[in-house]
Amino acid sequence: MFFGTLSAIVAYRVVNIDYGYDTRNLLRAALLLPADRYPTQAARGRLFQSVFERLAERAEVEGAVLRLTLADIESARGDVEIASDELGRGQPRTHVIGALGPLTPLGIELAGGRFFAAGDDESAAKVALVSRAMAELYWPGRSPLGEQLTLTGIGESEPRTVVGVVGDVVLGSPARRRRSTIGAYVPLRQTDASAAAVELRHRGSEQAARAAYHETLTALDPLLVSEVTSFEETLQQTTALATAVTRLLAVCLAFALLLAVSGTYGLMALSIGRRTRELGVRRALGASDGRILAMLLGQGARQLGIGALIALPLLLAIGWVFSLALPISFSLSVATALAVSAAIALVVMAATWLPTRRAIAIPPRDALWRE
Q: Is the pTM of this model over 0.75?
A: no
Give 337 or 327, the one with higher predicted confidence.
Answer: 337
- Residue 3's pLDDT is what? 47
> How many CB atoms sit inside 10 A of residue 228's CB?
20
> Does residue 205 register a pLDDT over 80?
yes
Average pLDDT score over residue span 153-161: 93
Mean pLDDT (the chain, rounded): 79
- Residue 325's pLDDT is what? 58
**How far is it, in rounded angstroms, from Cα 244 to Cα 55?**
38
> What one-character DSSP code corresponds to residue 126?
P
**How far is it, in rounded angstroms, from Cα 365 to Cα 123?**
101
Q: How confident is the model at residue 31 (pLDDT cuts 50, 70, 90)?
A: very high
**How far is it, in rounded angstroms, from Cα 150 to Cα 36?**
31
Q: How confident is the model at residue 291 (pLDDT cuts 50, 70, 90)?
A: confident
Q: How confident is the model at residue 249 (pLDDT cuts 50, 70, 90)?
A: low
Residue 54: name the closest of 226, 203, 213, 222 by CA.
213
Q: How confident is the model at residue 15 (pLDDT cuts 50, 70, 90)?
A: very low
Q: Which residues pair with 164 in a beta bridge?
A: 113, 129
**How far is it, in rounded angstroms, from Cα 291 to Cα 127?**
78
User: In what helix (H) or strand (E) does residue 243 lie, and over which residues does it extend?
Assistant: helix 240-273
Task: Give the three-state DSSP class for 113.
Answer: strand
